[in-house]
Amino acid sequence: MGIPAAKEVSFVAGITQRAAQSVRRWFDIQEPGLPDLESFARLCVGLGCSADEIIGVLHREVRDSDHGTPIVQMANCIRAITDSLVWRGELGIPIRVLGDEMAPRLRTGDIVFVNTAITRIEGNGIYAFTRDNEVLIRRVDQRIDKSIVLQCDNKAYRDHEWTGAAAAKRSGVSLLGKVHGGISVQLF
C-alpha cells in the first residue's frame, strides 16, 4: 500500500482505533500477538480486503491503485477526520454555523463540535450559546474584573459585555458548551 515500514504501526492503529502499544505487539517478530476480533474486523474493512486475504487463505492480485473500494476510502477519511476532532474522548455535538459573525475563522456552512459537558465558562475560547432557539457561536473573553465579553471575529458586529451570570440570564443567553473543533466547508 506504499506505507513506509516506520509508519505501519501508526497506520494500523488508526484503522483499528487501538493504541500503538497494542498494535506494536501484532508486529513483534520475537513474540507476535494477535488482534482481538473487533480489531481484526476493523483492519479488514480499513484495508478493503477479506479476512481470508489477510490470513493468506485467499490471494488476489494487488495493484498500486488498489487501496480499497471508494466507500472504504471514504469511511477511512471520515474516521481520520473524527479521530482528529475527538477531545478528551468526546466528539461533541455537531452544529452547523449560520451567519458571518465569526468570519473569517468560521463561515456559514462550517461545522463546529461542541462539548456540552462544559456547563460554565472555563477560560477564554470559542463557545456556543442559545438565545430564542437560535445558536450563537462567540469568542469569550473573561476579564480581570469578572466581566465576560462575547465577541464576534467579524468586526462588523458589536461585542456584548456582561458583569455576572445574572446579566447574561436577563439577556436570554444560555451556555450550550465549548467549541473544541470544526470542519471548514469550501465549495470549489
- Taking only the tens of pLDDT, the chain with its 188 residues reads 567 777 888 888 888 888 888 888 888 777 777 788 888 787 777 777 777 777 766 655 544 444 556 766 776 777 777 777 776 667 788 899 999 999 999 999 899 999 998 888 888 999 999 988 899 999 999 888 878 899 999 999 999 888 876 777 788 888 999 998 888 877 66
What integer pLDDT is reported at residue 61 of this predicted model?
Answer: 52
Among 165, 90, 172, 164, which residue's Cα sits nearest to residue 129?
Answer: 172
What integer pLDDT is reported at residue 64 of this predicted model?
Answer: 44
> Where exactly are the structural domains of the chain?
5-85, 93-183
What integer pLDDT is reported at residue 136 of this predicted model?
Answer: 94
d(CA 124, CA 140): 5
What integer pLDDT is reported at residue 169 of this predicted model?
Answer: 74
Q: How many CA atoms lie within 13 A of 103 on its CB side?
A: 10
Q: What pTM was computed for the model?
A: 0.59
Query: In what order do the strands lie in the sheet containing 134-142?
Result: 93-96, 111-115, 174-183, 125-131, 134-142, 148-151, 160-162
Q: State which fold the 93-183 domain adopts.
A: Umud Fragment, subunit A (2.10.109)
Residue type at position 107: R
Measured CA distances, 111 to 91, 155, 160 (Å): 12, 21, 24
CB environment 107-128: b (16+ within 10 A), e (fewer): eeebebbbbeebeebeeeebbb
